[in-house]
Amino acid sequence: MEYQLIAIERKGNTDLVTINDEPSRNALSPQLVTELDQYLDSAEEDKAIRTIVITGSGKSFISGGDIRAMSTMTPEEAEAYAWKTETVYEKFINSDKIIIAAVNGFALGGGSEFTLACDFTVASSTAKFGFPEVTLGIIPGGGGPSRLFRKVGLSVAKRLIYSGKIITAAEAALYGLADMVVDPEDLLTSALELASEFDRGSAFALGACKRTINAACGIENHVGMVDEIGVFADCFQREGQVERMNAFLNKSKK
């Protein structure tokens, strides 16, 4: 299958997936979401793949949602966009493959939420995490409110989401948002070495373990996402949302 925004390289039993849309800083555009969705469907059918490592090109892992696209969305369009993204996250969570985020740079908003759908997060020491959606007049709509507290605890989740603060990789590891922090030049090697740890078990057993652990933790809580995405969509008819997004876009041009 041909992709425009992602590149796939087979490394033994692991697929290394690189998000490659540097002009947008690897933003979660509708096209990128579609390509990730299509890739995961094909990977799920490939029994040779046990693990998937996902990283970004340039200075960003995933810079966040596609603010340029979101700035003109109606509430209905925002809801459809959020559900399309959530469908991909749920496929990651429910996949039999072990999925590792290798965070090379900015993982903001949707980028941090993306890591919550992965099994593990290996971060470069130069990586940045955060949930700055409140500064744009919206809420995190891709699992931040529904999944973050399971990863970092309720108080830390509230602080990160309420403040919109951008944190370092070291802080992310301290809070539990990142599982491992390594030097930038060691990022992919470390992520692939982690993936190789899961070669000993049977593919069926790995998938079964993942499903039972996620079910016990409530990670695939679809009910919570219904409420979250509904509130996210409602933000797109509230005062100040368009102005805040346009201000962000104008600032990013400078």
Catalytic positions are: 113, 133
Q: Torsions phi, psi of 108, nearest 5?
A: -110, 145
Q: Say how far apart CA 150 and CA 141 lie, in whole Å.
A: 16
Q: Please, where are the H alpha helices in the chain?
A: 30-45, 67-70, 75-94, 110-116, 144-152, 154-163, 169-175, 187-196, 203-217, 222-234, 241-253
Selection from 31, 67, 55, 40 nearest residue 122 by Cα = 55
Q: For the chain, what is the radius of gyration of the CA atoms? A: 17
Instruction: List strands edge to edge, sheet with 98-103.
Output: 6-11, 14-19, 51-56, 98-103, 120-124, 180-182
